[in-house]
Structure 1
Amino acid sequence: MIDEHNDIFDSKIRLHDRHRFEIKLDLELPPSHTVYELESYFFVPRALNIGPSTYTKEDFYNNNQRYIRFKTPKISLSKLCDPGLSTSPLNRVRENLSRILSGSKDPGLVNLAYDEFKLLGCVIRGEIRDHVKIFMAGLETYTPLPGETGRRMFIGEGLGSFLADLKYLSGRINALKTDVMDPVVPVKLKETFNFFDEYLSLITEEYLTSLLETMRRSAAALADFKALEEELAALVISQSQYRAAMNYPSVLKEGENNEVIIYRRGVLKKFISSVLYLKPELEEWRTLTQVVFGLAA
């Protein structure tokens, strides 16, 4: 992957799949700008035989896919649970649900809660991903010298706090179930919560599994953080058990491959992250519901 950084924007170029590559640009624009122009130049080796006669301008633009989205907000896991933080999507969901349960007929409340559930999923995924990356980097080079306590404290206390925050957040989210499943709450929000809940379990299992595997590859880390290794393993196992108990489709069954889980994760990720895109072309909730019913059939 190629990374470039300058004062205007951050850019990343990476392979998307076997046939496509992806260019990601992060632009910091002042609020006064509502229109901007971006020019891109591609330098193609002559050996690839790509030119106007073999690859027309129309083909080039037809093969392009362009998306504009907001950056994922940065809110720590502990702050998400802070009742005094008005910008927390979790608090906004609770507030909107409370108004719905109190009999409010405001049609905008459902859409607000719908978007806040998806935004909450984006924020949590970003926080889990970023924390796991930091801890994995520390574990991959973990060879503390006698008397060296800095790195040991960083990984031990930092990882312990991260897991504690994650468990507390999970408890707060589970507490929403009673409100969400009330008959007064529209079906759209019930299903949105289930999609969010399943997605959160999947990404928790995925990232913590990677972290657990990294820890187990380091004999020194495994010796120093055995209790954390056991806690990680228990959390990973509990996610699959939880999804099975909730009858979510993303459960690996004995004798079957994991294609359903991979596909399901992709669909859920697209649904959750759609809240960040400026111009969604489809109504995501109806599309995902149709996919779910199709799989069930």
Structure 2
Amino acid sequence: MTTMKKANETVMTQDWKESSMERHDLYNFESKIDYILDRSPKGHQNDYLLEVFFFIPETLQINKDSYSKDQFFLDMNNRIRFKTPQMSLEGILDKKNDLSPVNIILKKVRQVEFGKKEEELDIRIEREIRLLACIVKVSLRDQFTYLLNNYKKLLMQGNFENAITRLLTSIENLEIKLNCLREKFVLAQMAIKLREAFQFADEYISLQIKTWIAHTIKCLEGKPIDSNIQS
């Protein structure tokens, strides 16, 4: 359970849209927390006290003797997380974008098809697969959130329908590209771990797409939208 206190008020994280608690990997979980800013006049300082509580079953026999405070904080502070690169779906699909994980994966897979077998090559492909999933997740979140937060403004300008249609078209093109990659990972002599990595990333991206589309449909229920978009 995570709470944040501000100005003698306690707010539970489940009330915040972007807050979440999820499993990160086999040994770690990840907590994302919103900071609610007080839009007061300039010069006002926002102070926060973050309190985190988690409970461990006694049967695990984890206590101050088996797991010291120093070791706990050492495990907590020895990880560095790099910020996910910002890239739109159109940028990911742009064949001229040398930084696109899709283009890098295709290039590296082609080397495998030509008979190149190196551990460094497998490591790079797996890294780009993971990066692709992360970038797509962030891009979907940012682009859908922008459209929803600026719905009224875009609608007044007459740009909302074009913007949502363009985003949905990019998603369709992304799915086509993923199908192409899926075929290459099946036909090429790829390591099993690379095929599994791509399968996980593919399923993860599909889940993110479905989640954000469903969320957007729910948010736009009852609002004026072009019939072509609704279909």
Asked if these proteins are the same fold (TM beyond 0.5), I'd say yes
**Secondary structure in 2 aligned to 1:74?**
coil
Deviation at 1:59, TM superposition (A): 5.3
Deviation at 1:142, TM superposition (A): 7.2
Deviation at 1:24, TM superposition (A): 6.8
Which position in structure 1 is the counterpart of 2:72? 62
Preserved CA contact (<8 Å) 1:117 1:196: yes
Cα distance, 1:61–1:137 mapped onto 2, change above 3 Å: farther
Preserved CA contact (<8 Å) 2:113 2:188: no
Aligned to 1:178, which of 183, 187, 190?
183
Which position in structure 1 is the counterpart of 2:94? 82
Output one character per residue of 1:112-145: Cα deviation in whole Å (capped at 9) or x when no partner.
Answer: 1011001001111111001111122234x5796x
Which position in structure 1 is the counterpart of 2:162? 157
**Secondary structure in 2 aligned to 1:216?**
coil
Preserved CA contact (<8 Å) 1:93 1:116: yes
**Secondary structure in 1 aligned to 2:220?**
helix
Output one character per residue of 1:73-115: Cα deviation in whole Å (capped at 9) or x when no partner.
Answer: 0111111111111111110000110000110022211111011
Which position in structure 1 is the counterpart of 2:61? none
**Counterparts of 1:128 and 1:43, CA distance in 2:** 29
Preserved CA contact (<8 Å) 1:14 1:21: no
Question: What residue identity is the alignment partner of 1:158?
Answer: A
**Secondary structure in 2 aligned to 1:104?**
coil
Aligned to 2:136, which of 124, 127, 130?
124
Which position in structure 1 is the counterpart of 2:227? 226
Question: What residue identity is the alignment partner of 2:228?
Answer: A
The 5 Å alignment of 1:235-254 reads none
Aligned length in residues: 180
**Counterparts of 2:181 and 2:69, CA distance in 1:** 49
Question: What residue identity is the alignment partner of 1:228?
Answer: I
Give me the TM-score of the superposition, normalised by structure 1. Answer: 0.53
Cα distance, 1:96–1:23 mapped onto 2, change above 3 Å: closer
**Counterparts of 1:24 and 1:71, CA distance in 2:** 16
**Secondary structure in 2 aligned to 1:73?**
coil
Cα distance, 1:225–1:87 mapped onto 2, change above 3 Å: same
Which stretches in structure 1 are left out of the alignment for 5+ residues?
Answer: 3-12, 26-40, 45-55, 231-297
* Aligned-residue identity in percent: 20
